[in-house]
Amino acid sequence: MKITFRTIKINNKSIVEEFIDHLPEKDRVKLLEVIKKTQEHGLEIATRMKWVKKLENNLFELRSQQSNNIQRVVYFHIFDSEYGSNYILTHGFTKKSQKTPTSEIQRGISIREDFLKQPIETIREIMKNWKEGDENA
């Protein structure tokens, strides 16, 4: 089942897009390829291929490696009966150790909690705009 990753903007900026834009070209291409393949093939295949990994309850990472450079993008999932499933990218980081740093997990949790603290009407408006953007693409 195809999925679509979304980014959220904080102060009119997407943390994930800025992270990706500042990566070296080969790393950026590889990470965007992982995101694209995960969207096209779905989470079941992405999990089998080790493109995604669960970090904790409703927090996951997209995994990319180019040579010794290991890139991760953290995301979470929300569902709405009208707007369906949304997979929201929180932030990216360059991994320097075997284990995902606790600080990066906490950052993902914090961004997720801040997003979900918004009034439900605000969240539904964001999801509506995402859906309309898909239909106009």
For 89-136, give the DSSP string.
EEEEEEE-SSSPPHHHHHHHHHHHHHHHHS-HHHHHHHHHHHHHHHHH
Give the tens place of pLDDT for each residue, 101-115.
999 999 999 999 999
Q: Which residues pair with 54 in a beta bridge?
A: 60
The whole-angstrom separation of Cα 87 and Cα 91 is 13
**Ranges of each domain in the chain:** 5-136
**What predicted TM-score, i.e. pTM, was given to this entire model?**
0.92
Phi, psi of 96 (to 5 degrees): -120, 0
Minimal CA–CA distance to 112: which of 81, 84, 91? 91
The whole-angstrom separation of Cα 122 and Cα 100 is 31
Considering the chain, what percentage of its residues have pLDDT values greater than 90? 77
Which strand (E) or helix (H) includes residue 88? Answer: strand 84-95
Q: How many CA atoms within 13 Å lie on the side-chain side of 7?
A: 16
Give the tens place of pLDDT for each residue, 60-84.
999 999 888 899 999 999 998 888 8
